[in-house]
Amino acid sequence: MSATHAKFELRDLGSAGLVLRCQGGLSWEDRDLLVAQIEQHIQYRPGLTGVVFDLAGLEFINSAGLGALFQVNRRLRDHGARLAFASVPPMIVRMFRAVGLSRLCGMAETVEQAAAWLQEQQQADGAPGRAQTA
């Protein structure tokens, strides 16, 4: 595995859901693993309300990686959960804005802020809907 492949680490976020830390690159080779990780938690954790993607260690993302993030967002919303991003590198923030991902998901500087955003969204409407960026 080259240094640009993604490495994922999951941890529980309590009532808000999960934190998925992504390091390296996110490309075609990594997208199936990412989607499978999320699918597993959707299936085995029916009360999942949100996932924070901590992207502080993300070095690279291509169109396949972006497509995987859109797919994850759709699957989470289909199950009543939301997606938020934390610690997104500036170049990747620009990409998210260009493709519209920042309009669909929360964006925050820290994992804690992203988790707070998820809780606010859950309290605001209790159902999936369009998220506003933080």
Residue range 29-84, pLDDT digits in tens = 888 888 888 888 888 887 888 999 999 999 989 999 999 999 999 999 998 899 99
SS3 102: helix
Assess if residue 132 is contained within a domain: no
* Domain, as residue range, for 71: 7-125
In 3D space, the residue among 105, 30, 22 whose CA is nearest the CA of residue 58 turns out to be 22
Assess if residue 100 is contained within a domain: yes
Among all chains, which residue has been given the structure tokens 């990686």? 65
Q: How many domains does the chain have?
A: 1
pLDDT above 90 (res 132): no
Q: Whole-angstrom Cα distance, residue 114 to residue 50?
A: 10
At position 110, the amino acid (one-letter code) is T
Assess if residue 107 is contained within a domain: yes
Q: pLDDT per residue over 81-127, tens digit each?
A: 999 999 999 999 999 999 999 999 999 999 999 999 998 988 886 54
Please say whether the beta carbons of 55 and 87 come within 8 A: yes
Q: What is the CATH number of the domain that holds 81?
A: 3.30.750.24
What is the predicted pLDDT for the residue at 39? 87
